[in-house]
Amino acid sequence: MKILDLLNKNQMNFNIEAASKHAVIKEMAKMFLEDGVITDIDQYVESVMEREKTGTTGVGGGIAIPHGKSDVVKTSSIAFAKLNHPVDWDALDGKDVSTIFMLSIPGGSESKEHLRVLSMLAQRLMDDDVIEALDTAKTKEDIINIFQNKEIVK
């Protein structure tokens, strides 16, 4: 499975105004709700916040990959957002976060697929060229192009 299989233009926002990690997650969850990925925003946000308690998803370089596994998730998906102002995410490098990829994971899923997708995404986000491209991306097409023709998750 490719990252692009889960990354959807309907779930991208380049203009999120939020003052906290929780507010960012809630704004991004709205995209999932509007696109039919989740059925209950509060339960999904709670699952993401519970995951955040186990360890930061701020991977460094101003990027975070929050994710939640919940029965209210109908299908796996990745939402993308750029924040108007960086927020504290307790990131590994101590830097505030302004670029977020949020993953939805169905609660009944016993497969390790989401771990493979997270691993693939994290690996791509360690590439300096990818980070630079994300920093300069202005359109949904730019984001899609960054991940076009990349490795396949098996």
Domain assignment of residue 128, given as a range:
3-147
- Does 119 fall in a domain? yes
pTM of the model: 0.91
Q: How big is the CA angle at 49 (ends 38 and 9), to the nearest 5 degrees?
A: 40
CB neighbour list of residue 114: distance below 8 Å, 6 or more residues apart: 67, 69, 76, 103, 105
- Does 26 fall in a domain? yes
CA distance 101 to 33: 16
Q: Provide the pLDDT for residue 109.
A: 62
Q: Provide the pLDDT for residue 151.
A: 44
Any catalytic annotation for residue 67?
A: yes
Q: Which position among 22, 67, 85, 114 bears the catalytic label?
A: 67
- 86: CATH: 3.40.930.10
Q: How many domains does the chain have?
A: 1
- Does 153 fall in a domain? no
Q: How far from 130 is each of 32, 56, 91, CA to CA, in Å?
A: 24, 21, 19
Amino acid found at 46: E
- Does 116 fall in a domain? yes
Instruction: Render each residue's pLDDT in the chain as its tens digit; 154 residues.
Output: 678 889 999 999 999 999 999 999 999 999 999 999 999 999 999 999 999 999 999 998 899 999 988 999 999 999 999 999 999 999 989 999 999 999 998 887 655 777 788 888 888 888 888 889 999 999 999 999 998 855 433 3
CA distance 40 to 11: 16
